[in-house]
Amino acid sequence: MNKSLLTFLAILLSLSSLRAQQSNQLTTSSLQQQQSSGWQQVNIGTTGALYSVNFINPDTGWIAGGEGVFRTTDHGTTWLPWGPPGGYLKVQFLNANVGWMTTGYVILHTIDGGLNWITENIATNYGDVLFLNADTGLVCVESKVSRTTDGGLHWSTSEVDSCCGGLRTIFAFNHSHIEIIGKMDLVNDPPNPPLNVSAHFYSSNAGLTWSRRILKSTHPQLNTGYAFDSLHAIIAGDSSNNHTGIIGITSDGGLSWTFNKQAEFIPVASCMTSLSTLYLAGASQVIDTAIILCSTDGGSNWVLQNFPAGRAFAAIGFPSQSEGWAVGDRGVVLHTTNGGFSAGVVQTLLTQNLPLDVYPNPATNAVSFRYTLPTVQSVSLTVYTVRGQIAASPLDNAVQNPGTQNIALSASSLKSGDYIFLLKSRDYIRSGRFSIVK
């Protein structure tokens, strides 16, 4: 694998790059922790990293990862190893017979449901693959796109933009309108001075020619995109400048985008089940944990869904409006039959951030966390090392009354160095850094 792909996989499945910012707020737009989970963990027989999930209907689907591809034909009750052994980054099937499995340099193609496979070599590594139909497919190749019109037997490659730092995701509004997103280096485009823009390209002729969209946002990197129909789509990425997840929504086929932010979030997968219900999956930039966000109002406000396990998600998909699958690191597979929402859970959208002070910082003997709760809340406060290990848990679902709270943490068991805190309640999540100096 080349350096570009290794970097992308690191974004998907590694949380070791913790950011050196103090008192970063996790909620720069509406965000709430649910109290119970509508997601259930499923064991498919692997503990390796999983990168892709693809269902053609609620009964039949595939999951691809470092230890192979697994298939179910009974609604996810049974999963069996499927296809040639090896590690695979993506699996895509158009129907029960026609599909592709991809590694770094090779695409395996079947037209008989996996009884036989055709090996299709690609000249260089890629970031993503999408087949529009049985003949036409597209492959991201760093700053280039490869295209086939014969099911993958032959490929032609053209450069989309020499300034592009790495194309990552292909998604289609329809069979003609295709978009590719990724990372764009600094470019000299009007207006002057140079605009730090995202790599966002569109084609109106099924990938034959490409044009670049300039999104006047503050982030240079987009990781995921999903189009629900010819007009509505979601894109998401994270800013390398302030480590904030950024979400874009369009309702006019990509001509204009509305953006909002979710701090400390790396979105790497997206899905829409209706015009109002959207999902994002990824990981926290603060601690070693996975994240699923859901919006039920078209992307204006987002809810943080609960689930039983996970460090980082790499893919999410819904074969129906209520039934979904999410896969990620260490063989984690989650399944929901109700959109990830538990019966009886009332969602209350967050409209304000929780004021919080950490002092002294740096600290020698003790560090205090002071915040004010407007209502009764069940609060957890956890302190992590910069490697993601739990160093202390001053609060574990402690019920606190409205008013100012002051939680003191003794530094006697903490070594000198930097630490990360995560405070969670029903309505708030706050995170940040502090230092111990002895």
Confidence (pLDDT) at 385: 81
2 vs 5, 9, 166, 339, CA distance in Å?
6, 11, 12, 37
Contact (Cβ atoms closer than 8 angstroms) between residue 296 and residue 303: yes
Nearest to 422 by CA among 41, 15, 49: 15
Summarize pLDDT for 145-170 with one digit per residue, the tens: 889 998 888 888 888 876 666 788 99
SS3 call for 7: helix
3-state secondary structure of 12: helix
Residue ranges in the chain whose pLDDT is less than 70: 1-37, 121-126, 162-165, 184-198, 215-220, 240-243, 263, 286-288, 309-310, 342-353, 386-388
* Other beta carbons less than 10 A from residue 356's beta carbon: 18
DSSP string, 63-96: EEETTEEEEESSTTS--EEESSSS--SEEEESSS
Say what the pLDDT of residue 95 is.
94
User: Residue 411 phi/psi, 5° resolution?
Assistant: -95, 10
Q: Using an 8 Å Cβ cutoff, are 236 and 270 in contact? A: yes
pLDDT at residue 28, rounded to an integer: 34
- CA-to-CA distance for 209 and 203, rounded, in angstroms? 6
How high is the pLDDT of residue 290?
A: 86
Q: In this predicted structure, what is the pLDDT of residue 106? A: 82
User: Which of helix, strand or coil describes residue 200?
Assistant: strand
pLDDT for 186 equals 52
What is the reported pTM? 0.73
